[in-house]
């Protein structure tokens, strides 16, 4: 059955609220509900956990905010038309991919994702020859999306069971038929948004620092989905964080001291982003190895920017 346009819009608007509620219901007993995203939706934002990889409606609109341009505070860095140097290693050539779970010092399997995501704000500064900085900016741009395969059948079933059997002390407020309808509507809304988000991969360049563009997740792992242990282990081993970066933006401000430190012919590029639980500390050495002429300075900022 095709929903009227107004009804479909209401379902889409309600999807994020219901997803957040479902996440709190699936949390371990006695744990606190997940904190809301501290910075709201953004072009690179991804709905966490239950429907990872699904954008909100506002996220799917590419905004012309000048994020890809340089201001007078930075040297003008044109985007080159020439291909990358042939001797630059691909990220996959730096170290063989592994899918083994991480372990702590006692040999126990270590958690790869915190129960309640802690989003950390970072500023990344890239400096080096103007041509190399321009080439990196071109290579780093992407959709800001990890194109996971989502098991929508399982999502619908999980949603249905949570609606008909919510954890105590909550009580069921929907009939079985009503719960089935709501679960189906959520599945349709999530599937629609996910398809729109994944369609942007390889086409959109809205995100100025896309980890999947620089250190891509293997397709065999993408098919397993965002909650499988093998993809989570790969992300931990190769990125150091288990979700796509959020609110990635190019910061065109650079203070006078920073400009004075630039060598003749050098340029600088500053990028800000939020990272899930950890700095992407394992991705940065891999990226730096691919761009040996550039210097990368990544700093987490714990005060509100």
Chain segment 177-230, per-residue pLDDT in tens: 999 999 999 999 999 998 998 999 989 999 999 999 999 999 999 999 998 999
Q: What is the pTM of this model?
A: 0.65
pLDDT value at residue 61: 35
Q: Which tens digit of pLDDT belongs to each residue from 256-295? A: 556 778 889 999 999 999 999 999 999 999 999 999 999 9
Instruction: Give residues with Cβ within 8 angstroms of 125, minimum separation 6.
Output: 258, 268, 269, 270, 271, 296, 297, 299
* H-type alpha helices, the chain: 5-25, 91-94, 130-140, 152-164, 176-199, 211-214, 219-222, 229-238, 256-260, 283-290
Residue 301 has pLDDT above 80, yes or no: yes
Average pLDDT over residues 239-248: 96
Burial class (CB in 10 A: 0-12, 13-18, 19+), 260: exposed
Angstrom distances, CA of residue 154 to CA of 74, 151, 160, 173, 301: 49, 5, 10, 22, 38
Q: What totals of helices (H) and strands (E) does the chain contain, helices first?
A: 10, 4
Residue 31 has pLDDT above 50, yes or no: no
pLDDT value at residue 83: 43
CB 184 within 8 A of CB 1: no
Pair of tokens at residue 151: 């098991």
Within 10 Å of residue 282's Cβ, how many Cβ atoms?
17
Residue 140 has pLDDT above 50, yes or no: yes
Q: Taking the domains of the chain in order of start, what are their residue ranges?
A: 5-301
Cα torsion angle, 111, 113, 114, 116, sign: negative
Angstrom distances, CA of residue 123 to CA of 82, 143, 151, 248: 28, 19, 35, 10
């Amino acid at each position: 059955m095709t929903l009227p346009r107004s009804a479909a819009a209401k379902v889409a608007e309600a999807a994020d609220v219901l997803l957040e509620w479902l996440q709190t219901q699936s949390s371990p007993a006695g744990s606190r509900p997940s904190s809301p995203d501290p910075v709201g939706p953004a072009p690179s934002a991804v709905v966490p956990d239950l429907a990872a990889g699904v954008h909100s409606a506002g996220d799917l609109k590419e905004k012309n905010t000048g994020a890809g341009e340089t201001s007078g505070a930075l040297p003008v860095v044109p985007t080159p038309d020439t291909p990358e140097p042939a001797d630059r290693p691909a990220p996959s050539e730096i170290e063989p991919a592994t899918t083994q779970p991480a372990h702590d010092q006692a040999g126990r399997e270590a958690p790869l994702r915190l129960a309640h995501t802690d989003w950390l704000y970072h500023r990344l500064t890239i400096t080096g020859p103007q041509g190399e900085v321009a080439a990196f900016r071109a290579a780093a741009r992407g959709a800001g999306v990890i194109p996971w395969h989502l098991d929508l059948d399982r999502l619908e079933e999980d949603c249905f069971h949570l609606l008909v059997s919510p954890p105590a002390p909550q009580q069921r407020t929907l009939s079985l038929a009503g719960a089935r309808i709501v679960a189906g509507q959520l599945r349709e809304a999530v599937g629609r948004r996910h398809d729109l988000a994944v369609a942007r991969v390889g086409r959109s360049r809205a995100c100025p620092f896309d980890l999947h563009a620089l250190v891509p997740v293997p397709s065999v792992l993408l098919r397993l989905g965002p909650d499988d242990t093998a993809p989570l282990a790969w992300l931990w081993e190769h990125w150091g964080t288990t979700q796509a970066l959020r609110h990635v933006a190019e910061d065109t401000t650079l203070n006078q001291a920073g400009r004075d430190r630039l060598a003749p012919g050098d340029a600088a590029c500053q990028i800000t982003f939020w990272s899930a639980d950890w700095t992407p500390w394992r991705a940065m050495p891999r990226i730096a190895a691919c761009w040996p002429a550039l210097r990368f300075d990544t700093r987490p900022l714990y005060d509100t920017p």
